[in-house]
Structure formats: C-alpha cells, structure tokens
Amino acid sequence: MSLSKVVSEVFQALFDKLPPQVQRVILLPSVRKGLAFLAAWKTLGVINSYISYQAQNNWIRLGPWDPSKEIVVLTGGCSGIGKQILEDLTKLKVKVIILDVQDPTFELPSNTFFYRADITSSSVVKEVGDQIRKEHGNPTILINNAGVGSGDTILDMPEERIRLTMEVNTLSHYWTVKEFLPSMVQNNHGHIITVASIASFVAIGELGAYAGSKAAALAFHETLTQELRHWYKAEKVRTSVIHPFWVRTPLIDGLIKAGKHFKAPIMSPKDVSSAIVKQIVTQSGGQVIIPKGHSSASLLRGLPSWMQERVRNKGSSQLVKLRELQAAFAAEKATVA
C-alpha cells in the first residue's frame, strides 16, 4: 500500500469520528481550502527546518556523543548563565574548565577546574591555554559565554566601559578561538559556541556598546563557520550562536524591579543553559533564538525601514519609561530614608 493511501485512510478514519456538525463545517469549500493551506504551510515549515539544520551542519551526521571524550572551556563560568552551564554540564560527567576574572564563590563540582584569566588579553589566554593543554589535554568544546553590559547613552558611557564591553563580548572570542581551535581543526572534532543576544539584530537606545558587541559576535560566528567549511575543511567542527532575550541576571536587576512595566520576555539562566547543552549533546551547529516563539527577530533587518524603526522606537520608548520609574523609585526610597 502506498504512503499516500495510508495517510488518506488515517485522515478518513479521524474524520469519521468527528461529530456530524463538525464534518459539515469541514466539508465547506472555504474551510477545506483553509485547512489545505495550513497543512501545506506546516509541511513547508518542517521541510525548511530540516534543510536549514542539514545546511548548518554540512549535511554530516555525527556518531553518538561521548562526554568522557570532551573537555569544555567555559568563559565566565563563576556566575549567572556561566554558572548554570557549569552545573548542567557537570551533571553529564563532562570535564569543565572555567576561565574567569572572578574567583568562584561556591565549591567546584568534581571534574571541574578553575583558572583565573583575563580573556581580554591575548597573552594571558595563550599562557593559560598552554597550562590547560599540559594539565588536561586539548579542549574539544569552547563556550564563549563571558559578557558585560551596561545601560548608558553613547555620550554618557565612559570610554573604559565601551572598551571593556567590546573586549569581553567580542575581541576575547578571537583570542580564545585562536588558542583552542587549531587542535579541533587538526582532529576534525569540536564545537565553538558563541553566546550573543537578541541585541545582535535590534539595537535600541542606551545599548550602543552592548548591541554593537553582540552584532559583532554574530558576524564572528558566521565568518568562523565559513572558514571551517571552506578554508580548513573541518566540516565536523560545529559552530553555534545563541541569541537569548533579556536574561534574569544582576545586569538587569534594576529594570526587572519596574515589575509589570517591563514587558519584554525574561529568560532564566537555566533557559539559556538548556539551549546550549542541547546543542552540545546533539552535536548540532546553528543559530538558536530563545524563546523559540521569537525566532522571527532575526528577520528584522530584512523588513522595510519604517517597520524596523517602529520596532526600535517601541523598545527605546519602553526603556526610557523604565529609567524614569527607576529614578522615581530611587527618589522615593531616599525620601523615606
């Protein structure tokens, strides 16, 4: 029996179980056309997802993932998203090496190691890289997670803060990849994960340095993917870029305190970590936007200019209102004190 006939019989069986009044509605020409359109749209979505996944992974399916063969280097693993990634990976019995300028304020899980390192310095990264290789071997997974951000207008943001944002959120990726990628290329095995942001696509007021650094991180990921494929012929080395909306960390505590006035989706560190760990365990490369329902954010740059401006205006207006509320709360608190 052909597949089309089997599908037809399944749908007929389901149709026969519907109440008569529902069957009559479905048999209306307009309804049938609508259902056919939805079915075709859903089918196209599935096909598109499949082709996108295969294209991002060079049409190569890897064997079962073996955590015992992986060594993860995680930047910024002592707090926020990085700490959650650390906890989730250690549950999978993966060796994790943390690079951070902060010392851990918690007891390190077994099979986890900490190296104090300023990743904005290429010489420091090289020095700690030599030490890691000597003591643990060649890392196979690099998670460029460390990030900083602050909200100030371009005129108000101090130069040192602008430089730090760019150096941590973007330039450090060059130093860590230059240090740990060569062995992955040589073995044609590895995974480079870039933690970017929805700000890679949408820049609003007070986020000039942050959005600029995350847009650059996305460009870095795209370039690296192409170089691995065409220059180094390392088609089994995966690359992933993660774009979360606002994440509940100390960086946005002040905004969250505005309560109901903060209407943007707020991710937890667990949401971001789960997306990253899934990429690692399934050995999947590609672009991941969370929450998934906001994946259309990547299409913003393709919209007409007036639509793009409307989206940015809305975000900026909301941020201005939140800042005003913050100032009012601070003034009220000072008065009470």
Which is the catalytic residue, given 210, 232, 236, 321? 210
Catalytic annotation on 33?
Answer: no
**Both tokens assigned to 291:** 């929450």
Torsion of CA 248, 152, 166, 261, to 10 degrees: 20
**Both tokens assigned to 292:** 């998934």
**Strands ordered across the beta sheet of 237-244:** 112-116, 95-100, 71-75, 141-144, 190-195, 237-244, 286-290
Which is the catalytic residue, given 42, 91, 115, 214? 214
- Are 131 and 115 in contact by the 8 Å Cβ rule? The answer is yes
- Are 234 and 184 in contact by the 8 Å Cβ rule? The answer is yes
- Are 195 and 144 in contact by the 8 Å Cβ rule? The answer is yes
CA distances to 4, 25, 37 from 32, rounded to whole Å, are 18, 9, 9
Beta strands in 125-270 (DSSP E): 141-144, 190-195, 237-244, 246-247, 266-267
Catalytic annotation on 232?
Answer: no
Burial class (CB in 10 A: 0-12, 13-18, 19+), 213: buried
Give catalytic residue positions. Answer: 210, 214
